[in-house]
Each structure stands twice: as C-alpha cells, then as structure tokens.
Amino acid sequence: MHIATCVWQEKAAAADMGGGGGGVGAGKRKRKGEWAALAAAAGGALNCAVSFVVFSALDVLDVVLCLVYKLVDYAVEAEWKACYCAAAARGDGAAGPRVLAPPGPKVVRLSASSAKMQLEDVSDTLYVRPSLLADATKKAGPAPPALTVSPAIAEMIRGKIDRPPRPSPPRQAPCWSDCDCKVCHAWSAAPRSATHLYVHVQAPPAPVPGEAAEDVVFIHGFISSSVFWTETVFPAFSAAARGRYRMFAVDLLGFGRSPKPAESLYTLREHVEMIERSVLQRYRLGSFHVVAHSLGSVLALALAVKYPAAVKSLTLLAPPYFPVPESEAGAATQYVMRRVAPRRVWPPIAFGASMACWYEHVSRTICLTICRHHRVWDRLFRILTRNRVRTFLIEAFMCHTHNAAWHTLHNIICGSAARMDAYLDVLSSQLSCKVAVFHGRDDELLPVECALAVGARVPRARVTVYDRKDHITIIVGQEELFAAELEAIWRSAAAD
C-alpha cells in the first residue's frame, strides 16, 4: 500500500537531511535555490498585481449584478429578493464598532424566548465583506462588526425565525435561477421528503449470524453529494466489510437530492439536526463510525461532541481547520475567510473559492450558469469523452442552489472558526474514539497545514499525508487503497 509516512516522522526525516551535502554539488544546489526563490518572488508579485486588478473589477461587477438580479427577481417572481449587500459594512476601515443597517430576516435569529436577537448561528462574513481596496487600506487591528436591529424588523421576522419543534415542509417552488429537475427537486414530491435528507443506505445483504452490523455515517464536503462516496469507495469495500457494516451516505441540506428550502440559513445547527433526524433517529443508530470530507469534517466534529459515547471512530479528510492567531481573535470568521478564499487568481482553485466566498451575486451567476444547466454539462461531458470517464462528479458538484452553497460556505466553514478549537479540545480530552486524519500533499484549497494543526491539537490522532494527491484525488483514483484504510480503522476501533 502506497501511503505517505506519518507527517511527524516525515518532518523529522526532512530535518535530518537538511545538513547533508557539500562541495561543488552544494554550490550548484544553492544557486539553483536562489534562482528558484527569485522566480517564486517574481511570480508572487505578478499574482498579487493581477489579482488586485481582477478582484477590484469583481467588486464593481458584484454591485452591478446586485441591481440586475433585483430587477429580474421582481419581474419573474414579483418580489424583491433579500441579499446581504445592504447589510455590508461600507466604512472607511477605521477601528471601532460598525453599525449596520437593519439587514432583514436572513441575518438575524430570535432566541427561544423571543426576548433578544442572536447571531451565534450566523457568520458575520455574510454581511461584512470589505472590498479589496478597503481591505488593503484599512488600519491595523480587526474590528468586529456590530449589528443593530429595530423592534419593527424583529416583529416582522418573528414568525419566520421561530419555528415549531418539527419544522413544517419548506417552500417547494424553486427560484427561477435554480434547477427544477427530478434530481435537484425530488424532495418536493412528498411532505416527508421535505423534512428529511436524502440518504443512500448500503446494508449487509446477509448479516453474519451472531454478529451485529456496525453503522458508518459518511458526510460529504462543500458543493458535493453522497455520490462522492457511493461511486468511489462504496464499490471498493471488501465482501467482508459489505457484510459487516451498514453504511449511510447523506446528501447535506441544500445539496444533491436533499431539500433545498429557500428560507433556510443553512447553519451548523440546521445541518446537524437534519443529520440527526434523517439518519441517527430514523435508523436508530446507537453507535457509529463517522467518515467526513472537507466541510463535512466540521459537522462530524459537532456530532462527535454531541454524541461522545456513540462515536466509535472519526475519520477526517482534508479538515478545514485554521488556528486563529490571538491578534485575529476578535474577527476569527474574517480570518478564516481570507485563508479559504485569499482573493488570488492563482492557483485556479483559490480563484474559484474567492469568487464563491466574497461575491454574493457573482457566485449566483456561476450557479445560474453551471448548476441550473447541469444536465447540459452532463450530456456535453458524455459526448466529449464518449463515455470513457464516469461523470458522477457532475451530479456531485452541480446539484445545489446558490442559496444553499452561499450560506453553508459562510456559516459552516467561516462561522465555525471560533468553535473548532473547542471541538478539538473536547475530542482530545473527553472522547476516546479512534481519530484518523488524511490529507493530500498537493491540496491547494485546504493546505496540509490544516491536518498538521488538527494533529497538534489532538495528539492521539493518526495524521497521514498522501503524496501527489489533492482535495479530490485523495479519494478519486485510489478508491481501493482508501477503502482498505477505512476497514483497518474500523477493525481497530472494534478491537479496543
């Protein structure tokens, strides 16, 4: 099996090799290193310059698209769609509290008693996204955003935000800019489907006599779906594993075949509650293993902390964990947003993440172009490749709404910045489950330092790095290898 050594061992080996070499060969290597450093510096400067121009233009374009979409929304659906542009801080970057205009129902949430407003579930990155120029000229020191909400606004949204214990079916009519095909909108067929996630279940065909089946919950990452698992590692499991484990792969709220309610804020609480209702309660899981990729790692940690006695093992792939420096503690969500989406044109995956994270209406245009027409893209890929490659990733990456992707990105990855340390501390000190962390060395979206940071926070975690693998190929392309790794983790957890 070709798996890179543990990161800690690898770093120690690199340190040992650092002192070797000498003579002419060492001199040549030094000169090459100097030229490489100079080229890297020049490339970095060019990247910064081009990025400043491109993202300054996108700042303007997003404002224009805001007006365009408001007019089109009103013309097509006879209502003005709320957006976060009016709530964004437009100050001069000076330190001190920022007072925002009343933002509307999507930004605030009432407490259970309806006596005060709560923002704990909602990331301030939704409505505080300074332009590149404002960000470059602001004074030192983070300024946490403040928010004021008038009593009239609070009264107006009371009915929307205060929901009954079992939510009523969400609004089923898709927005004009969202896809309404059977894959994306199948949840509207029945009332029960509207309150539960789509779950792919692979159960043992013939349970082993005298041996109870173990349960495994698979949670996908951002702009993905359950097919990320069912089309890759599920077929790669051994016959013994398929006969022993009952596997659940969910489509998260707003993605794949799951409900995509227009009024949802797609907060951590909503995502976790839907997993509880759709998997843990519906199938009566008393104990289970969890396998999660990217953004799903945050939800996996939340489940582990909430059900400490139930989780047998926790496997995290490319977890989005960025330790927040003390100097940024007052604006942790903003720090994580800048790390996940650095507003750079290179590498391409960072450019795509930046457009999706910083620009509400540019990202809606991307969803309109790609997600709403995913059936066209699927047919095109099949024609171009003559069906020589599987196109399941089209469904995985394109079957969601802009509303779901926008809120999930901000409220889970950025909004959980302050919670991740607490989750990992609980995992380290209070939970005894097996913890395994995997990362691709060539991951340009979430660098390998994220896995290192998790390993430093949870010393018992086994951190493994795959050579020549990135955010997707950590699974795709080495399915049998990774399936064998998972089986070994589960067997080890059962033996303890």
The residues that are catalytic are 220, 294, 443, 471
d(CA 168, CA 175): 19
CB 320 within 8 A of CB 337: no
Q: With CA atoms as reference, report the closest residue to 89 among 107, 71, 105, 74.
A: 107
Tokens encoding 203: 């159960």
Q: Supply angle C-alpha 354, 464, 201, rounded to 5.
A: 75
Tokens encoding 68: 């365009």
d(CA 136, CA 95): 14
- Residues belonging to the chain: 496
Return phi, psi of residue 222, to 5°.
Answer: -70, 145
Angle between helices 332-340 and 417-429 (to 10 degrees): 90
Q: With CA atoms as reference, report the closest residue to 251 among 271, 273, 281.
A: 271
Q: With CA atoms as reference, report the closest residue to 95 among 27, 141, 137, 58.
A: 141
Reduce the DSSP state of residue 326 to 3 states and report it: helix
* DSSP-derived secondary structure for 2-38: --PPBHHHHHHHHHHHTT---HHHHHHHHHHHHHHHH
Tokens encoding 191: 């009332």
Q: With CA atoms as reference, report the closest residue to 65 among 450, 352, 363.
A: 363
d(CA 373, CA 134): 35
How large is the C-alpha radius of gyration of the chain?
24
With a CB cutoff of 8 Å and minimum separation 6, the contacts of 140 are none
Long-range CB contacts (< 8 A, 24+ apart) of 226-230?
226/198, 226/199, 226/200, 226/250, 226/251, 226/256, 226/257, 227/256, 227/392, 227/393, 227/395, 227/396, 228/293, 228/393, 228/396, 228/475, 229/200, 229/291, 230/200, 230/202
The residue assigned the tokens 């590692």 is: 233
CB 5 within 8 A of CB 466: no
Q: With CA atoms as reference, report the closest residue to 33 among 18, 16, 48, 49.
A: 18
Tokens encoding 75: 């013309």
